[in-house]
Amino acid sequence: MILTVTLNTALDITYRVRSLRPHASHRVSEVAERPGGKGVNVARVLAALGHEVTVTGFAGGGTGREIRDRLAGTPGLTDALVPVAGATRRTIAVVDELSGDTTQLNEPGPQIEPAEWGAFLDRYEELLGGASAVALCGSLPPGVPVGAYANLVRTARSAGVPVLLDTSGEPLRRGVAARPDIVKPNADELAELTGSHDPLRATQDARRRGAHAVVASLGPDGLLAVTPEGRWRAAPPAHIPGNPTGAGDSAVAGLLSGLVENLPWPDRLTRAVALSAATVRAAAAGEFDRAAYEELRGQVAVTGAVSAA
């Protein structure tokens, strides 16, 4: 079983409009709603790939109930979310059909009380006992300690469970120091962490700060991986138009599934880039276009070599 942690779950709502203009009213042509938050997106992709996956984190209020109801119909996915008094947040993605651009609006999330945080920690330790790997993903809701991910990384390592960390800001800085197996920042998060805007230099610096391997997401340019086994770049064949919401989460699913399947790094990166690009092509956040994924797997370009990183 693969465990994904989403401390700040969300109901992802995607609106499609012909052209998004400031200070104007818009007629929405299509609405899609899906359970969301980074780890939930990762879990749905893993389940679609055939892995047994368990989702934990927090869920509360009417939005939380809706998320749990929707997750209940996902084959291969087990809901282990911890109930809280506050209402789970919503995220809004507005897709401009004319330009293909997406505007994202993210609510902060519910206030988590100390007793609720304690209940989650108990659930997390229990779930690690049956996990082959764990992904720690996304933002922290109000009330959760800023060092939460560092604590969760150390707990996973003590249990002998490989851990992937995908967050930003101070939670990322503290989490990296706890020595996760894989860290997957995007270019902006990497620059904030290291102070360098050169992807290779910043990725190497992130490894020196404690991460076993660092896979940097470079947007349309694909992924850069610096690992103990070597250094690689992986890129899609061309710019992929569409909605990028959830593309990074699909990349995490590709990396995590490759880890538990013991695939070599080039194969993990190929899968991650193809899934990410296929997610951009999908109609709604947190899904991927399976036909596009199968097509793109054979077109991802991976360069690099096995060597000491």
Helix, strand, or coil (residue 49):
coil
Q: What is the DSSP string of 178-236?
A: T--SEE--BHHHHHHHHS---HHHHHHHHHHTT-SEEEEE-GGG-EEEEETTEEEEEE-
Whole-angstrom CA distances from 309 to 201, 208, 214, 230 are: 12, 11, 11, 5
Residue with tokens 């209020």: 61
| Rg (alpha carbons) of the chain, rounded to whole number | 18
Q: 230 pairs with which residues across the strands?
A: 227, 306
Q: Identify whether 69 is a catalytic site residue.
A: no
Give the DSSP per-residue string, 118-151.
Answer: HHHHHHHHHHHTT-SEEEEESPPPTTS-TTHHHH
CA 306 and chain centroid, separation: 26
CB crowding 177-189: b at 16 or more within 10 Å, else e:
ebbbbbbbbbbeb
Dist. CA 79–CA 56, nearest whole Å: 7
The active-site residue, picked from 12, 79, 166, 249, is 249
Measured CA to CA, the distance from residue 251 to residue 141 in angstroms comes to 23
> Catalytic residue numbers?
249
